[in-house]
Amino acid sequence: MAIDPTRFCINRKIAPALTLEAFFQLVQRLGLSKVELRNDMASGKVMDDLSPQQLCALTEKYNVEIVTINALYPFNRTDDALMEKAEALLKEAQRIGAKALVMCPLNEGILISSQQTREAMQKLAPRFEHYGVQGLVEPLGFPVSSLRSAVQAQQLIREAKVPFRLVLDTFHHHLYENAEQEFPAEIDVNQIGLVHLSGVEATRPKAALTDDDRIMLSDSDVLNSVAQVKRLEILGYKGDYAFEPFSSELNSWTPAEIERQIRHSIELLQA
């Protein structure tokens, strides 16, 4: 079941040591064109020290499409600081042509009710509409997360009557204990806007896994990310897959190693 290569996207988290231009060059060498930028890199800025004009010139030069900026956090606690952050990120997304902004829930062991999360979506939706940016809600499977379930996230989006879509992450799907009970019958693949892929080889209990365990796909992947993707394809998912490893091990990867890892992961998915 071959996946069209144009559907593969590279999250900048895989190349923490590279400048934006070097990152775009790497993506181009892979024959790919889609990227996710982030606001949690070493610079703390989506564009590092580039202006929007400079970044747009680079995306044009290397034929790169910015699929998302990752991420608005915590989207479901909409105090003044969060709304200011949303405004700034949406303005930035519009300026650099990013199609979407990922929204992550509070992940600190603090309960946020379904009603509060729905109200947060309703409060944010007009700002997304104003800037012409798609909102993508990403449930986090950690035990301390305030929104762990992909199915619940889709339900809240429907109840809030907002045009947001879902980010499904194979790592977070694995961490949420009830995912396999809920997912097959209840997920609506047409409302998935993006799928994040990583792999984990650590054999500790699910609740003990952290972002630092997230590498690329392999035959020893306990997340079964390849199987998760094959099921999504069978269910009719037509969107993009973004590689999003997090491990601190990535800091030591050379561009050649990053390319090798991405090519290998794609091969596993295409087998």
**What's the confidence (pLDDT) of residue 271?**
87
d(CA 268, CA 271) in angstroms, rounded, equals 5
Length in residues, the chain: 271
DSSP class per residue in 118-178: HHHHHHHHHHHHHHT-EEEE----STT-S---HHHHHHHHHHHT---EEEEEHHHHHHSTT
Strand partners, 66: 35
**What's the confidence (pLDDT) of residue 49?**
95
Q: Read off the pLDDT of residues 145-157 as tens digits, 9 standing for 90 and up.
A: 999 999 999 999 9
Residue among 230, 202, 196, 200 at smallest CA distance from 217: 200
Please identify every stretch of the chain with a pLDDT value under 70, giving residue numbers as ranges: 1
Strand ranges inside 207-247, DSSP E? 241-243
Q: Read off the pLDDT of residues 248-262 as tens digits, 9 standing for 90 and up.
A: 999 999 999 999 999
Alpha carbon 197 to chain centroid, angstroms: 8
Predicted TM-score (pTM) above 0.75: yes
Element at 68 (helix H, strand E)? strand 65-72
**What's the confidence (pLDDT) of residue 185?**
87
